[in-house]
Amino acid sequence: MKCDDVRELLVDYLYGEMDKGEVKKFEGHIKRCTSCKTELASLQATSKLLQQWPDIDPKMQLVFVKEKRALSDSLRSVVPWRAPRLPKLAFGLATALASLLLLLALTNTTISLKNGNFELSASLFGRPKSAPTAPVITEADLIELQRANLLLCERLVRESEDRQKREIALALTELVRSADYQRTLDMQLFGRGLEEIQERAIRRIARTDQIVDGIVQYISQEGISKR
């Protein structure tokens, strides 16, 4: 092995990254060659010296938390149908209504109420020529209509209540989950804080002990010298 070859291998040897097969040859050369031996010792000394710069404690508390969403956003994600876009919905309804009216006009549709029953007639070729008859609405028809309206209202209110209950339940579940998660993070932070306080206290006690020892030693030496 030549000195030039050895120089390339010095750092491998220094940091224990040399192939096992090469170590023996390398060490053999180092024993014989004073120049390479000195070079290695010098590199070792520099490396050891660098180790005298200890790590610092940056006292960092980086914590990553999930981005909090507003409750309305949470609800929208859980109940997407709850928040349709109003302009779009209004435009759709208006278009549907206009189409219906146009269709009714084109077909000459007539809707009438006779004896509690609705009658529907339509014709593409004009209104049928029939003798005009005045619709007869009896009291029974009105009572029946009121009852139907009442039932419809009751059903709508019931459905609305059910829907609200479901929404509230979902929102509460989400809220509880968020609170649990936040509590876990807080506990982790709290734990780390306690550990740090404990470490500092231990260091401080050790330092105090050291100072007290020094004082005791000093006092005892002073006592001996006075005697």
Chain residues in the site for other proteins (CB under 8 A): 7-8, 10-12, 15, 17, 41-43, 45-58, 60, 62-66, 184-185, 188, 192
Q: In the complex, what is the shortest distance from the CB of residue 19 to other proteins, in angstroms, rounded to a whole number?
A: 13
For tokens 């028809």, the residue is 141
Q: In the complex, what is the shortest distance from the CB of residue 63 to other proteins, in angstroms, rounded to a whole number?
A: 6
* Structure-token pair, residue 135: 């619709």
* CB 112, CB 135: distance < 8 Å: yes
Best CA proximity match to 30, nearest among 7, 55, 62 = 7
Nearer to other proteins (CB atom), residue 8 or residue 139? 8
Q: In the complex, what is the shortest distance from the CB of residue 182 to other proteins, in angstroms, rounded to a whole number?
A: 11
* Structure-token pair, residue 187: 């506990």
List Cβ neighbours of 35 (8 Å cut-off, separation of 6 or more).
3
Residues 79, 173: Cα–Cα separation, whole Å: 13
List Cβ neighbours of 31 (8 Å cut-off, separation of 6 or more).
37
* Structure-token pair, residue 210: 């050291």
H helical segments located in 53-108: 71-78, 86-106
Nearer to other proteins (CB atom), residue 135 or residue 191? 191
Nearer to other proteins (CB atom), residue 147 or residue 192? 192
Q: In the complex, what is the shortest distance from the CB of residue 16 to other proteins, in angstroms, rounded to a whole number?
A: 10
Nearer to other proteins (CB atom), residue 54 or residue 80? 54
Best CA proximity match to 164, nearest among 152, 172, 176 = 172
Nearer to other proteins (CB atom), residue 147 or residue 183? 183
Q: In the complex, what is the shortest distance from the CB of residue 99 to other proteins, in angstroms, rounded to a whole number?
A: 47
Q: In the complex, what is the shortest distance from the CB of residue 9 to other proteins, in angstroms, rounded to a whole number?
A: 9
Nearer to other proteins (CB atom), residue 43 or residue 122? 43
